[in-house]
Amino acid sequence: MKQKFIMGKNNKNGLEIQEYSELEKDQFFLVYTHVYDSEEIESAIEKGNKDIIETLRNDNFFPYRNYIDQIAETVKEIYASNIENSVEVSFDDQEYNIEEPEEVELSDEIEKLLEEDVVSTDVTNIENEGVAKTNKPQKD
């Protein structure tokens, strides 16, 4: 899924962020919009990215870590350079999909260890005695 965020200062002395999602090919729909108080944003910028992110995120707006990092950087740029126009930041989830790892063959030694009896630990006595008991299953 593709998403885009349009950010800019609005006429009410605040930062407006609009979140759009692509629900159909090349058709984006507004999912969320919020106006943040400029004083809060400026204060967060002075403290760093962590504070910017904490200021922006809420119950309705919680982008992925990679997304919010870029959004925070864009917010800093908007305020640092007094950008008057809106700025668009786009993301495609496909860029962040992690491919499944290839199946790894286990060495004979590891397979042998996995086949052996597992030592179990009785943790009920650890608190009382300070020592864990190990019970190795008995072979018939």
Structure tokens at 38: 């400029």
For CA atoms 11, 12, 13, 15, the dihedral sign is: negative
Helix 38-47 to helix 49-56 angle (10° resolution) is 150
Statement: residue 98 has pLDDT above 50: no
Start-to-end C-alpha separation, the chain? 58
Determine the pLDDT at residue 138: 55
DSSP classification of residue 101: P
Closest CA to 93 of 72, 73, 67: 67
Q: How far apart are CA 135 and CA 8, in angstroms?
A: 65
Closest CA to 70 of 84, 55, 90: 90
Confidence of residue 125 (pLDDT cuts 50, 70, 90): very low
Compare 97 and 18 and report the one with higher pLDDT.
18
Residue pLDDT, tens place only, 34-74 = 999 999 999 999 999 999 999 999 999 999 888 999 999 99
